[in-house]
Amino acid sequence: MTGQYVRVCAVSDMKEGDVRTVEINGRPIVLVGYDGAIYALDDLCTHDGGSLRDGGAIGAEIVCPRHGARFDIKTGAVTRMPAVMGVQTHDVRVEDDYVYVGIEA
């Protein structure tokens, strides 16, 4: 990935199962705490453009609250229709107890 890493929160702000949205350069990104790691995806359901945040996470999937589409939080791949296109994922780094998300410039 070419671009920049942006500090978005402290590691202590994200617990197992947490789902939260941050904004980076005007782009909403959803963070998900799962299995001791933090994952970042565009906060945008590819089916209808709705936010994924309020659907929550079920295991390694994030759920769109509007129509039930699901996406793998690690890869962004669709795991349940009605969505047919995956969601953009972003690199996450943890340094000095802070979470950084990689965003293309």
The structural domains of the chain, with segments of one domain joined by +, span 4-103
CB 6 within 8 A of CB 101: yes
Nearest to 24 by CA among 10, 43, 37, 11: 43
Residues in the chain: 105
Token pair recorded at residue 3 = 């671009």
Question: What value does the mean pLDDT take over residues 30-47?
Answer: 96
Within a 10 A sphere around the Cβ of 19, how many other Cβ atoms? 20
Tell me, what's the pLDDT at 105?
63
Radius of gyration of the chain (CA): 13
At 45-99, the pLDDT tens digits run: 999 888 999 999 999 999 999 899 999 999 999 999 999 999 999 999 999 999 9
CB 55 within 8 A of CB 46: no
CATH number at 4-103? 2.102.10.10
- For residue 44, pLDDT beyond 80: yes
Tell me, what's the pLDDT at 6?
97
